[in-house]
Each structure stands twice: as C-alpha cells, then as structure tokens.
Amino acid sequence: MGKHSLQRESRVPNSVKGALVFGAVAASTGAMPAISAQAATINVPGFGNFDVPVGPEYDQQVAQANQALADHADEIKGVQQAMAAPAPQAMLPGQPAPAPNAMAPGLLEQTNGMAALDAARTKIGAQYVWGGNGPNGFDCSGLVKWAYKQAGIELPRTSFEQSHVGQPVAFQDLKPGDLVIQNGGGHVAMYAGDGQILHAPQAGDPVEYSNLNPDSIVTARRVN
C-alpha cells in the first residue's frame, strides 16, 4: 500500500478510507468512477491527495477498492456535502455567543416606557382618588408618576409638569409607555398600543384601558 496524506479529518468509516486510497470521487457530479490500475497520484476532492501502487500485481486490490467505493457511495457523497457546507463562524475563547436580534419578530427591546406600562397594568381596577399617589388609589398623573417610579424614573407630580418631560413624539410614532397629554393639559395617560391608552380616568372610574381620541391630544412625550 502506498503513502497517503489526508488534507482534513473526515468521518468516513475506516473501510471507506481504505477504499479511497485506490480511488477518486468526482465531486462535481457525485459519480464514482472506476479506478485504473495504472493510476499514480490521485486527488479525492474534500479528502486529499493519495499515492497508489501501480502494476498488474495490484489488480485484485484495485477491484476490491472499486467495490468498496460502490458499496459506500452514499456515505462518501454525504461526507462531501457536509464538508462543502459553510463552517460556523469561529469564536475566540471566552467570547460570548451572539445575542439574538432584538428586533426580530416576537422580540422587543425593553424600554423605560414599556417597563412603566407593565407596572401600570398591575393597577388595572384600582380606584380613582383625587391626588392619589398609590399604591391602591390614583389620579391620572399619580398613576403615571407611580408607574415610572417602578421603572426607576422620577417624574414631576402634575399632568401639566409631565407635559414637558422627555422628548415630543408625533401621534403616528407613539410607542407603548409614551405619555399622552389630553384635555388642554389637565389629563395624562400612557399609550398602551393598538390605539389604546391606560389611565386613571376620573372619579368613579377605575384604572382602565380606553380608546385614544387623536383630537384630544395636546402633546405626547417619550421618557428615555
């Protein structure tokens, strides 16, 4: 048996590796050509160069190799296809795995507004109390102030003061948690998405969702 050198490690069974010493695989077509006893150096794509013995005294081994190649054609082709597939991106030792795309469907970046809105949702059904700061009763600005405090942000107390915090937002750009100032500045709500607001409406009404009337908006603010 002549010398051989593999260019890369393979997962082909040992019986097939032995057969490859005597043959070549046509990678472009997947065909398994017969091996001539006069072959010298052959290249098996994806596996490497092989020096094979020549001469009539090796005819029997060549025939056996051809049979082994035929018997394992599907396995060899599968290994070739696996080796041709792009390798995963190499990572340096200790490098963290890449984070999923935060903007992918179903995945949203958590903002201060969303955190505050999540807190306000826990108070749905709480009663309206004039001047109420919670945790059991709220007026409109008291609910907003309490919710943002849960997100780690201190807001001023009244709706008029809250109408100047953060950055102005156009109606079509509203996002969950944005402040919606209504009624000439006398009422504040939190945008809840899908054309709704979450707020403490008025005496006699609990904290609840309501449909947003665009004509009622004085300004909208986003607190970062």
| Residue listed under structure tokens 């792009």 | 86
Q: From residue 133, how far is each of 45, 138, 139, 156 by CA, in Å?
A: 75, 5, 7, 12
Contacts of 29 (CB under 8 A, 6+ apart): none
Choosing from 4, 72, 140, 164, the catalytic residue is: 140
Rounded distance between C-alpha atoms, residue 40 and residue 105, angstroms: 57
Contacts of 41 (CB under 8 A, 6+ apart): 49, 50, 51, 52
- Among the listed residues 106, 110, 139, the one whose alpha carbon sits nearest the alpha carbon of residue 206: 139
- Among the listed residues 18, 10, 1, 93, the one whose alpha carbon sits nearest the alpha carbon of residue 45: 10
Active site residue 72: no
Contacts of 87 (CB under 8 A, 6+ apart): none
Residue 24 corresponds to which amino acid?
Answer: A
| E strand segments, 69-216 | 127-128, 137-138, 167-168, 179-182, 187-193, 196-199, 208-211
Evaluate whether 209 touches 197 at the Cβ level (below 8 Å).
yes
Active site residue 187: yes
- Catalytic sites, residue numbers: 140, 187, 199
